[in-house]
Structure 1
Amino acid sequence: MLHVLVYIFEQNRDEEKAIPMQNYMKNHFPFLGIKTPERRWLVKQFFKESGILKEDFQEGFVRSLWQMKEREYQYAALDYIVHSIKKLEKHHLPLLEELITTKSWWDTVDVLAPKPVGAIASEHPDVIAERIEDWAYGDHLWLRRSSILFQLKYKAHTDEELLYRYIVQNKESKEFFIQKAIGWALREYSKTNPASVRTFIESTALPNLSVREGSKYI
């Protein structure tokens, strides 16, 4: 299955387009030069022709894509995961943690945290105490960011106490990606409960970036 997708991507490699894509990602990863709209179309065709979405969720396929050098392969893995969200179970969370902590950057983490991790935690809330709690209180930048963002799409189902506790735990961080995540989470939740977010921001010593981002809609 993997070799089919590799063939499709290689046929559409564009070295000229790859250069600005790599620059945009601070040259952390090499690219094939397949832009997002084209990649999504190619992956959609691959899904249709291979029938992989009709099969059980394939961790091996995801891991194989994650090990590939060019970044588009990780994006294809994310496309597959997002299209397979309803098949994800509690036992898939360690895989997602592995992906969050491997080849880590905002472009992958910001899909993994609010989508598949958020979906699993919604269906199996016991994983919060069992695993995500350790993310929020641990030393890994991207797991900490994920703990702040996993409820991003929860709206009225947001565990407000948990969100604020994880933010308070991480508010002293000097890391841009933590401060930005705090602001993003607050901004998103303010669409549901602006009064609560306003009160929290006013009563909590947060980084200026977090306050600026979190206050956009209140």
Structure 2
Amino acid sequence: MDVKGEAARVLAELHAQADPMRAEKEKSYLKSDLVHIGVTVPALRKVAVSAVKAKPTREEVLALAQLLWDVTDEGRPVHEARMAAIDVLVKRSALLEPRDLGMAERLIRDSVSWVYVDVIADKVVGGLVVRHPHLATVLDAWVADPYMWIRRTAVLALLPGVRTGNPDLERISRFGDALIGEREFFIRKALGWVLRELSKKDPAWVVQWVEPRLDAISGVTFREAVRRLPAGEAARLSRPS
């Protein structure tokens, strides 16, 4: 693969689909300081995925993703280029190895929005943890990290295990207790999402975890945790004040 050539092609195709009005609306919605081109998500994903349709090596995937992530316009990162970088990693995530968790961490620490962090956390970090369970020990450090987006990643990276029917209940409980007093909305929401997803498969566990913590759990976390509970299970819980 001509990595630089593919990166240039991706950018050219994105600019060819530029919609200034959409760019302004998206920039406002995301409260973003980045440069926005104004490309729909499906169109952006199609362009990004086309760059790795062949059989790139792991090194080529990482290099292409890094090139796209580092694209700037007048000194500012470009939103669509960063989204394309993430799509490239997700599309070829099966090639990633445990050592690539370091790159994922760098991208997260360079992110300032859920729109980048959430996909990396779920599809890249979470995917690596599912395939290489020993990596979960990294999440143990991340859940106490000063950077809020790293803490959110530690929680959201547990989602793939829940979806595949192999939830890390010990970490869900431990991380929940560590973060139950969080003031950050995005952390409270993330914990609620994990509990909500788990409630689809093991509602009794979620009820048993939430019930003794009703006085401590935030309203945001609580609402997400009970959203998909069967009526009978949800009836055991009362909304915290």
Tell me the CA shift for residue 152 of structure 1. Answer: 0.8
What is the SS of the residue equivalent to 1:54? coil
Does residue 207 in structure 1 map to residue 218 in structure 2?
yes
Does residue 32 in structure 1 map to residue 32 in structure 2?
no
Identity %: 28
Aligned partners of 1:18, 1:66: CA distance in 2, in Å? 18
Structure 2: which 5+ residue stretches go unaligned? 1-5, 72-76, 230-241
Q: Which amino acid is the alignment partner of residue 220 of structure 2?
A: L
1:18 corresponds to: 23
1:170 corresponds to: 179
2:62 corresponds to: 59
Q: Which amino acid is the alignment partner of residue 65 of structure 1?
A: L
Correspondences of 1:111-190 after superposition (within 5 Å): 111-129=119-137, 131-155=138-162, 156-190=165-199
Deviations 1:130-177 (A, max 9, x none): x21110122110111111111112222011011110111111111010
1:108 corresponds to: 116
Aligned partners of 2:113, 2:70: CA distance in 1, in Å? 15
Aligned partners of 1:84, 1:47: CA distance in 2, in Å? 8
1:197 corresponds to: 206
Task: Please report the TM-score for the alignment, with normalisation by the length of structure 2.
Answer: 0.84
1:91 corresponds to: 99
Tell me the CA shift for residue 14 of structure 1. Answer: 1.9
Aligned partners of 2:224, 2:179: CA distance in 1, in Å? 16
Task: Please report the TM-score for the alignment, with normalisation by the length of structure 1.
Answer: 0.92
2:237 corresponds to: none
- 4, 9, 18: which one aligns with 1:4: 9
Deviations 1:101-139 (A, max 9, x none): 11231111111111111111112222222x211101221
Q: Which amino acid is the alignment partner of residue 180 of structure 2?
A: K
Aligned partners of 1:28, 1:174: CA distance in 2, in Å? 24
Tell me the CA shift for residue 47 of structure 1. Answer: 3.7
Structure 1: which 5+ residue stretches go unaligned? none
8 A Cα contact 2:49 2:91, kept in partner: no
Tell me the CA shift for residue 5 of structure 1. Answer: 1.3
Deviations 1:66-111 (A, max 9, x none): 1222211111111111111110110100000111111231111111
In proportion to residue count, which structure has more helix? 1
Matched length: 214
